[in-house]
Structure 1
Amino acid sequence: MNEIYLGAAVLCMAAVLFLESLSPLHAAGAPLRRWARNGALSVLAVGTTLATPLLFWAVAGPLGLTMQGGLVQWGWPVWAQWVLTFLVMESMAYALHRLSHAMPWLWRLHAVHHSDVELDATTTHRHHPLENLVGALLTLPVLIALAPPPLAVLAYSLVALAVATLSHGNLRLPAWLDRGLRWLVVTPAYHRVHHSAHRPQTDSNYATLLPLFDHLFRSATPVPPDGGRGLTMGLERGRDARSQSLAALLRAPFSAAAAPVAEAARPRAARDGA
């Protein structure tokens, strides 16, 4: 399953980067260094996620924890197991994401993702490895208790991967298409609001796959008429080249200067002209 996920991640990244070259929201300026940095951080983060189950089972084995019972024991039909698996995994992703903005120590980790001053497909997996470790350790016990069909877990992971990569894309979709899709799935314009440096916007639109959760829990923020083109991405602090190095990003959560929240945005034009 790990091989399938990794293959899908590479394929999604390549596909969205190709789409970005055809219809970019913003012109990319010398992105190769940034892509290399994001790629290195992504390898560390995704590697941590995929390795965490091994660490978990090393502890769970002696404790007698097994993937038995759960939905199968409860007698749920297969289709209902799949639906519940999707809803549970999306709700866990939403809850953990929202907590990552609300709890200062989690925000210090998650801020590494938000500190990217541009937004494109390479931002998707730009996470601190410790954030992925925490997320995996919190998710695995729920999956063990639920014991969902492994194929359902893989299917959700692949769908969420595709949508997340697309939603981080530097893409200019037709306004009518983005408006129509964002009622069903997270779109680039919808998620771009979440990466705004303006705190009321960055603390909203948390959904990974289904905007329904944002609407249910009143965390949805409307997309600006320009599709988020004029928003400033990232955080107000740590925008210089030194702060954006791989070593600095790995140290960032432990820095005394790490901001607990996103700060008010400057207009994009002012930032680009600085």
Structure 2
Amino acid sequence: IASESYVGIIVDRTSQRPVLMVSAAGGIDIEEVAARTPEKIHRLAVDPRYGLLAHQALGLALKLYHDIAQARTAADIMQRLYTAFYAVGASLAEINPLVTTRDGAVAALDAKIVIDDNELDRRPDIAALRDSSADAPSEVTAREAGLTFIKLEGSVGCCVNGAGLAMATMDLVKYYGGEPANFLDIGGSSNPQKVVSALRIITADPSVRAILFNIFGGITRGDDVANGIVQATKALPLKVPLVIRLTGTNEELGVQILTQAGFSALTDMDEAVKQAVARAKAA
């Protein structure tokens, strides 16, 4: 091998476009190059209406190779990589390293493609290739239950309806001195079984010291969530404190269901988060 370079495409949320990045410093993590010598990375935001044009690819390839034949070969590889990136709805596609051999040939030795999960519903052929054994068991269980779940390192287990409210809940947990154990969004469905599945996932995490339900009823009905909590706690007796904030659609009925089952529900989000953090610290 005479040289090693890096070629990659990511989705840049700032420009809302795919960005092609190339660097002559290949063979190592591009993050390390970006941190230590960012000037060695050349970038191009690609207009998705037209794709990666030939002259754009060649311009970047000439940043890697002075030999025009090698640059043209590299440009062709870049265009093929962009075609693959776009075709499968990837969030990342990279070749590392892109090498030149001692006889002047250009070849891709290793490559990686990351498919955006949001694309999988439209591409069942790709979804079928997923190796669930490589994922965390809790994330596999959540995906099968139709939940959005990400494991974190804290001690406050969070079950929330809506991604925005879930992010705000985690921010408040940190604001009041705690650390969220997960991101878990049960979505807008009025399905008690989702709540049962969510609580099963949270209680399986040994690092959880308190559980916080934060439900703002819109499409999600408070009585359905309350029934789910009652069903789940009967099937899975809790070993950690549970704090519930419930407001919105069918709030009164939901609170009544919880009260009859021996639970109390708050309506103030800040107070609920404060209690969950305090109980997690005391556990």
**TM-score of the pair, normalised by structure 1:** 0.25
Kindly indicate whether structure 1 or structure 2 has the higher relative contact order, using CA contacts under 8 Å at least 6 residues apart.
Answer: 1
Rg larger in 1 or in 2? 2
Q: Which structure features the higher share of helix residues? A: 1
**TM-score of the pair, normalised by structure 2:** 0.24
Q: Which structure features the higher share of strand residues? A: 2
